[in-house]
Amino acid sequence: MLGHDTFRLRTPFEDLVVRIDRFAGPPSGEQRALARRAMSDLRFGVEGHDPGIVATAQKIVIALDGGGSFGLFSLRELGPLLIDASFETQLLRRLDEEFERGRLIVEREQLAPLTERRDLFEMPELGPPARQPVPETTFIAIRLVDQNAAPVPGRPFRIELPDGSSREGFTDPDGFGRVGGLRQDGLAKVIFLDVDELDFKSKNPVDRIIIPVGDEQESNEERLDDVRQALGKPPEETADQHFVELVLLDQDDVPIADELVVVVDASGHELIALSDEFGNVRVNGLIAGPVKIDLRNRDEWSLDEP
């Protein structure tokens, strides 16, 4: 709210300022057009139960009534969660009437760039969470990769600890899984719970592997080496440390989701990835050298040179 009689209507489409003028005459043609836009935005927000727009609509009506009640409802006592269809209808009808009478005036507001605009309703800023000391002494790190050595993120795993207890988690975007805060040494068993869902099948089944509990405070690369060592592979210093990132958009900058991308690294190793909902693709585990990509399900595409 800007003042007692002035309100900002923040919608997904634009920002409008609605002002109360109790002594105004019938609206002009331009005012009617702006009022229709404001009503469209209000209707969209109120019917969609947008709490910010509902609250603003309520405040406008309260202010019009001099802070009193509206119809059968005392708006001051109503929260956004208590609205029902009849309330919405009455609220919108009342606003529509006030625009029509000219008591509500709409003014355009210069739109801020999209990146600077805030969300539809204001959220209180949260401070950083209070830190609590966690007595971690040891951890277990694993990495799940497919037959092409590409990381497999978001997969549940269970780690059975030497004392018989177990801990569960999910692999991160780089295929890493980690449980910390362990106070015991010994051998642990790692189980990937839904590995059958993956398209590994008979080619390269993922084994249940046993990994020694390691020391704390290691970097991702060191964790990766731990995993390699546990799998009987020597630590690699240069291989599999490189990546490519792609952003797939159409000519109108609309992200392309679920697009299949084939990435071929310098060794001829072929990796397949899908773009996420924002059109982003990241492929890790590449060796140094030239990388080619191919969008095999598209006929016209190109690298956008800066």
Partner 1 sequence: MNDAADAPVPIKRLVGNGEHISLIAEEFGFARFESILEAQENASLRSARTNPHQLVPDDLLVIPDRESHAVDVPIDATSRIVIQRQRLFLRIKVLDLFGEPVASAGGRLETETVTIRVATDSEGLLHVQIPRNTKQAELRINDLVFTILVGSLQPESFTEGIRARLINLGCWAGQPQIDDVGTEGEFALGIELMQDELGLPVDGLVSSSFANQLLSKHGQ
Six-digit token string for 202: 């008979």
Residue 4 is a binding residue for partner 1 (CB under 8 A): no
Task: Decide: 50 and 121 in contact? Cβ < 8 Å.
Answer: yes
The residue from 89, 166, 207, 243 that contacts partner 1 (CB under 8 A) is 243
Closest to partner 1 by CB, 11 or 171: 11
Residue 178 is a binding residue for partner 1 (CB under 8 A): no
Residue 148 is a binding residue for partner 1 (CB under 8 A): no
Residue 277 is a binding residue for partner 1 (CB under 8 A): no
Residue 134 is a binding residue for partner 1 (CB under 8 A): no
The residue from 246, 271, 273, 285 that contacts partner 1 (CB under 8 A) is 246
Full DSSP string of 17-58 = EEEE-TT--S--HHHHHHHHHHHHHHHHHHHTT-HHHHHHHH
Six-digit token string for 267: 């060794």
The residue from 215, 216, 250, 258 that contacts partner 1 (CB under 8 A) is 250
Q: How many amino acids of this chain bind partner 1 (CB under 8 A)?
A: 41
Residue 238 is a binding residue for partner 1 (CB under 8 A): no
Residue 280 to residue 102: CA distance in whole angstroms: 49
Neighbours of 65 (CB within 10 A): 13
Residue 111 to residue 214: CA distance in whole angstroms: 54
Q: Residues near 105 by Cβ (< 8 Å), separated by ≥ 6?
A: 18, 19, 20, 21, 24, 27, 31
Closest to partner 1 by CB, 84 or 252: 252
Q: How far is the CB of 276 from partner 1 (least distance, A)?
A: 14
Residue 82 is a binding residue for partner 1 (CB under 8 A): no
